[in-house]
Amino acid sequence: MNILHTVEFYEPSKGGSEEVVRQISEKLVARGHNVTIATSYHPERNFDSLNGVQIKQFKVTGNQVKGISGDIDEYQDFLRFNYFDIILNYNVQNWTTDLSFPLLNSIKAKKILAPIGFSKLKRKRYNNYYKKMPAYLYKYDKIFYTSANFQDKYFGDKYGFSDKATIIPNGSSKDEFLNTLLGFREKFGIKTKYMFLSVSNHYFAKGHSFIIDAFRKLNNPETSLVIIGEKPYSHHWFSCFPLCKFYSLIDKRIKILSGVPRDWVVSAFNEADLFLFGSSVECAPIVMYECFASRTPFLTRIAGNVLDHEPLLWIVNTPNEIVRHMENYIKEPTPYSEKSEKAFKEFEANYDWAKITDFYENTYLSMLKM
């Protein structure tokens, strides 16, 4: 198959969407398919292919609501005049998908939209955008959802597109997390007995302040909080990085890290005692599945599809609830390790990237027979 995946950001950018598309794309290439990524220009991207995946970058920014600027014609001509069997638009509210909408009738490839939650569905500014959405959904052959129990799926069903729905969850890599213990604590100077971890980029919606507030209420010198994440390449005004850095200066138990190589991030998961997730805007958080793969207890606010996995994790609503979990873990970690082992077995059976790639590949192949 000749496949195009469009996604707003891609390597070397780091984030959940980037990781999903990278994993699926690279594994499809390993299975003999041709995969191209259409994505935003990145000044540090000095390659046009990565692990067999071709990368076509465009100097375009924005979305329909904020306005789109840059090489718009170049991108739309790329869609018009290149042949693909399958085109997957990954996520909405970004230029790679929004510029595809007016071309859907003329694109001969089988077309798939992965809405990834419709995160701005309830924002007044996006009312008109979502009024137009049913007309766009009509032109897609398939709609990929990560959960049957989230607002993007409810929206599609409401407007009569349940027949186009395919549920394909996110996942993680069993092989990547297997026995990856590089000595993260020693390398990054974590000398306390307990290490609590959070991994997400520095957007306010990711809830770092929620996690930091909870941790600072814990009066225990044998604990550290490590936050690994990047400052946004764009949209710097949404970044909580300066605030996080400030708290790390006034509380030496807090360590803020960026630019950490992937293998060391994996090691951090494997060496952490608890993972603390404060995000308020998610669809199917990759870090949840990475915690399952690494047997790391996952504490989270209700966001995205976490309730689909409620028996495998811990739901928290306030910083004080996180404090109680941290204190309980220190007193008796066994209940946490037992649930995490259950989560690993569920992950192993259903959420390894190899199995998720099976879903993508089989769906793509079946669409070509339609």
Q: Give 38-79 pLDDT, tens digit per residue.
A: 999 999 999 999 999 999 999 999 999 999 999 999 999 999
What gap in Å lies between CA 365 and CA 283, rounded to an integer?
Answer: 26
pTM, whole model, 2 decimals? 0.89
| Residue 307 pLDDT | 94
What gap in Å lies between CA 213 and CA 207, rounded to an integer?
Answer: 10
* pLDDT beneath 70: ranges in the chain: 233-237
Which residue carries 């007309």 as its tokens?
A: 135
What gap in Å lies between CA 125 and CA 192, rounded to an integer?
Answer: 46
| Residue 309 pLDDT | 96
* Distance of alpha carbon 309 from the chain centroid: 16
Q: Alpha carbon of 337 to those of 294, 312, 313, 333: distances in Å? A: 11, 11, 11, 6
| Residue 224 pLDDT | 98
Pairing of strands 67-70, 53-58: unpaired
| Residue 370 pLDDT | 76
Which pair of structure tokens corresponds to residue 326?
A: 């941290």
What gap in Å lies between CA 158 and CA 218, rounded to an integer?
Answer: 45
Question: Helix (H, G, I), strand (E, B), or coil: what is residue 58?
Answer: strand
Instruction: List helix spans (H) across 184-333.
Output: 184-187, 208-217, 241-250, 262-271, 286-294, 319-331
Question: E strands along 133-249, which residues?
Answer: 142-145, 165-167, 194-199, 223-228
